[in-house]
Structure formats: structure tokens, C-alpha cells
Structure 1
Amino acid sequence: MIRKLNKRDDPACQRLLGEKPAENLFIIGDIENFGYEQDFQTLWGDFDQKDRLRAVLLKYHNNFIAYASKSFDAEGFAAIINRDHEFMQVSGLQSITDQILPYIEHSPKKKRALFYAKCESKEKLGLKLDTSQVKLASVKDVPEILNLHNQIVEFEQDDSRESSMIKGIEGKSTRIYYVKDDDQMVSSASTTAENSKSAMIVGVCTHPDFKRRGYASSCMKKLCEDLLDEGKMLCLFYDNPEAGSIYKRLGFEDIGIWTMNIFEPIEQPTS
């Protein structure tokens, strides 16, 4: 049985999502930040015959993310998505989205698949790196960080990046660690979507003129140490094998494939 979730369902929802806090980083964070009753956010639960929650579907603006601990009503979740005229994206672990997508009424215009990795133990941070030069950024450092990001060809240009960084730092959902060389910011690593259980690592980069000096690894190690000390599990996406090898040396383990399926907006019927 599928029904909308509300705040009375939160204990059961947190128990289910807490089984895999890295995999459920986005759902956990959105519930902590916005709850169950927002115009832009809705949650549904799929319950088994004993009324135990076994799967969750989150709608955040026009994006749907699902999680299930066992077999679930994938066709029922797809029916909810198909009825939503705002829907433009279905994201999540491939093992779950692959069960929903066959029931979506039209095909995505774009698909992207990334490796999804997590680090849950400080004991696995095996690299003996000097992190004494790694600093935690404040709002005043944002212009220099943006300048560094603008040197990274792999990073997409985004006019909202500055305001997102500032909002994230001020709201404590984002941290940015950096290293300078002769007063020039040369490497950084950031978190985003931090919640009480987990955090996503993004924006790991080094200026092209300062690569292969261990700067990014030092930023990553300091970031990981600080968050793991707070009891937060770390996760990240990657599609570059070279980057993946760096993350694995720091103790990250692949936990699956994260897929993003982008759809054309559904045309609403005209009256």
C-alpha cells in the first residue's frame, strides 16, 4: 500500500533511511531541512502487508528519488510520477530506478550514470599526508574559490554558484577546505547537502599548474577526518577512473551506480 507520509511517520522513515545514510543522503537532508508538508516537497511510503515501511519516494521540486530496502511497488511509484505535470527527473541508485523506469510513460531525453562511493571509517584514511596547510573557508574566501573553480575545465559554469556557496556556508550545509601556495588558492574540496548522518563531497579540484603535488588529497583527508569525527558518513560521485583511484586510497568504497534520468516537461492539457 502506498500513501503520503507525514511527520507522524518520521520515526519509521528515519529507521528505514538510516540503514544506509550515504545512499539516502538527499532524502535525509531534505526531510531534516523541509519536513513533510511543503508545496515543493512531498513524500510517499510503500508499506508491506504488516504495515511496515519498505520504500520511500521523495518529490523535491521536479525531481523524484526513491529508496527501498527490499522488493517494493515500483509500478505504484511510477504511477505517482506519471501523474505529476512538474516531473522532469528521476534519480537514485540504479538498482532502484531500473525498477521504476519501465513504468514511466515516456523515455528520458538524457541519462547520466556515475559511480557512487562512501567512506564510513576514519581507520581507512591510510595516506600519511600533511594537512597542516589545509584551511576551512569562510564567506570571505568565496571569490578566490570561485576563481579557482573557473580554471577547472571539467566544472560547468553556473551563475548561481557564488550565492549557493555563500548560502551553504552560512546555513552549515556546506564546508569548503582549501590549500594556498604563495597566497594563491590552488586546491579545494567541498561538502554539500550535509545532514545529521552524512555529507556529499563535491568540487574536488586543483589548479592545472599545481597538479600532482598532493594538494587535493590533503584537502580530502582533512575534510574526511573532520566529518568522520562528527559521526557523519561521507559519499561522493565520480566518473573519472583517475579520481576514483585517489578516493579509494583514502578509504572510499564503491556502493553502486547513481543514475539521473532527465525528461522533457509534460505538456498539460489545454482547456
Structure 2
Amino acid sequence: MMIRCSEKHRQECLAYLRQNPSLNLFLIGDIENYGFNQGFQTVFIDKDEFVHGIYLVYYHNLVIASEENRVDPQFVERLVQEYEIQAIQGRKEVLEGLALDAFSREECLFCELNTLKAESVSDPQIRQAQPQDAGRIKGLLDEVFQTDNEAAMIARRIETREGRHFIIERGGQVICQANSTAETAEAAILGGVATRADWRRQGLASAVMTALCGQLLSEGKKPCLFFENEEAGRIYSRLGFAPIGRWTLMLRQKEGSR
């Protein structure tokens, strides 16, 4: 039976999700940070005498978790319509039986780090970013990923510690950076690993990741990340990251592209 969660379900939801704290990081973090009474977030629990799964709607995104790989396609279709869902995420095993014509499907490896390898690189010029660095971080991310980030949003995330950024500078420019995108008490998702084109293949990405991961591990948080690029995979493997599962992202296709 599907039940819309309220504050009274917090302990039950988190206990279920913490059976797999790394792979369920997004759901744990969103419940811890935003709870059950926000207009942009709604949580459902699939249960009878046992819990079978959690469905979390965050704005127009849906994340599904189920330890027994159980998903209700009709309920998902209802959520897609009601909340105008644009993206659905979850472990591959959970989503592989879900077929929605309007959505494409991508897969990547999900990895976590327990211990940094001894050969991990360090750089004395690495430092943790402050809010005033946001504009230069935006410049790097926009250049590398061809995006249009908001400096104010980056500054706010740094200030509130919603995300932490580590940077390397040369000549007044941020030339390399990495950051956490979501954190719980147990784990953190990393992303935004970027190096300016003329500074690549010098070990800078490894160095900045070493600094970021080292700080997280010292706080008892396991660094986690997604990747599908082989070159990135080699960097992460050298640092000590190991695959723990496959992750599926289903994206709503634009009209006319199907």
C-alpha cells in the first residue's frame, strides 16, 4: 500500500534507507534536509507489514529505492502525470523493469571510497573555496561543461555548507576544482570535477579530489560518485574508488524527439 509520508514516518523511512546509505544518499539527504512538509518535496512509502520501497519527489525529479527491487509502474505513471516528472533515478535493478515511452534511459557506475590509496596526489596550493570564490568557480564550470551556472547559487551552497568546493588557482584563475553535491552524516556525492583545457594531464584533478575526499573521510563520510567516462574512471580507481552498483537515470524526451 502506498502511503504519503508525514513527519511520523521519518524514523521508519530513514531506517529503511540506511540499509544502503551510499546508494540511498539522495533520499536520505533530502529527507534530512527538507522533511515532509515542503511544497517542492513529497515522500511516499510502499508498505504493509514490511516496507517495500520509498518514492521521493523533489520538484520534477523522482528517486526510487527498494531493497527488493520492487517498483509499481502504475504508481510511477501517476506520479509522472501529477508532478510533471522530468527525471527518474534509482539503482539499475530497481528501474530495469520500468518502461515509460516518454523517457530515455542512461546508465553509469556508482562508486564509493573507503580509504585513499597511498599514491594519491597532493598539491600544497589546494584550498577549500570561500563564497567570494564563486564567480571564478562559475567561470571554470561554464567553460568545461558548457553550462551557465549561477555564481550566487554556488556562493550560497559554500556559505551554508550544502556543498564544499576545493580549488587550485594559477594567475588569479581557478584552473581546477571538485565539489560535493549532496551530503549526509554517512556519505557525500561528488561532482563538478573540472580542469581548464591547458592545465590537463598534470595530476591536478587527482590532487583536488584527494583533498576533498581526505576531508570527508576525516569526518566519517564516504565519498561517492557516478561516472561513465573511462578516463575519469582511471583517475577515480587510482584514488581508491570501487564500484558498488549501477545507477539508472531516465529522462523525459522533448516532444518530437521520440
TM-score by length of 2: 0.90
Q: Does the C-alpha gap of structure 1 residues 136 and 148 become closer, same or farther in structure 2, counting only changes over 3 Å?
A: same
Q: Does residue 1:116 correspond to 2:110, yes or no?
A: yes
Structure 2 partner of 1:22: 22
Q: CA deviation at 1:151?
A: 3.2
Q: Does residue 1:133 correspond to 2:125, yes or no?
A: yes
Structure 2 partner of 1:157: 147
Give the conservation status (yes or no) of the 8 Å contact 1:66–1:92: yes
The amino acid that maps onto 1:167 is: R
Q: Does residue 1:242 correspond to 2:224, yes or no?
A: no
Structure 1 alignment gaps of length 5 or more: 267-271
Q: Does the C-alpha gap of structure 1 residues 4 and 190 become closer, same or farther in structure 2, counting only changes over 3 Å?
A: same
Structure 1 partner of 2:96: 98
Structure 2 partner of 1:107: 102
The amino acid that maps onto 1:87 is: I
Q: CA deviation at 1:184?
A: 3.6
Greater CA deviation, 10-19 or 244-253? 10-19
The amino acid that maps onto 1:62 is: H
Q: Deviations over 1:122-164 (max 9, x none)?
A: 3x43324234221000011112222222332xx1312x43232
Greater CA deviation, 70-79 or 203-212? 70-79
Q: Does the C-alpha gap of structure 1 residues 161 and 20 become closer, same or farther in structure 2, counting only changes over 3 Å?
A: farther
Q: Does the C-alpha gap of structure 1 residues 135 and 39 become closer, same or farther in structure 2, counting only changes over 3 Å?
A: same
Give the conservation status (yes or no) of the 8 Å contact 1:116–1:238: yes
Query: For residues 32-71 of structure 1, what are the structure 2 equivalents within 5 Å?
Result: 32-48=32-48, 51-71=49-69
Separation (CA, whole Å) in 2 of partners of 1:182 and 1:211: 16
Give the conservation status (yes or no) of the 8 Å contact 1:142–1:166: yes
Question: Percent same amino acid at aligned positions?
Answer: 30
SS class of match (1:216): helix
TM-score by length of 1: 0.86
The amino acid that maps onto 1:113 is: E
Structure 2 partner of 1:251: 240
Q: CA deviation at 1:82?
A: 4.8
CA RMSD of aligned residues (A): 2.1
Greater CA deviation, 202-211 or 124-133? 124-133
Q: CA deviation at 1:73?
A: 4.5
The amino acid that maps onto 2:199 is: F
Separation (CA, whole Å) in 1 of partners of 2:46 and 2:238: 38
Q: Deviations over 1:14-51 (max 9, x none)?
A: 11111222211211111112101222211111124xx2
Q: Deviations over 1:217-241 (max 9, x none)?
A: 1100110010011111211121210
Give the count of matched residue pairs: 255
Separation (CA, whole Å) in 2 of partners of 1:62 and 1:130: 39
Separation (CA, whole Å) in 2 of partners of 1:229 and 1:90: 32
Structure 1 partner of 2:189: 200
Q: Does the C-alpha gap of structure 1 residues 60 and 151 become closer, same or farther in structure 2, counting only changes over 3 Å?
A: closer
Structure 2 alignment gaps of length 5 or more: none
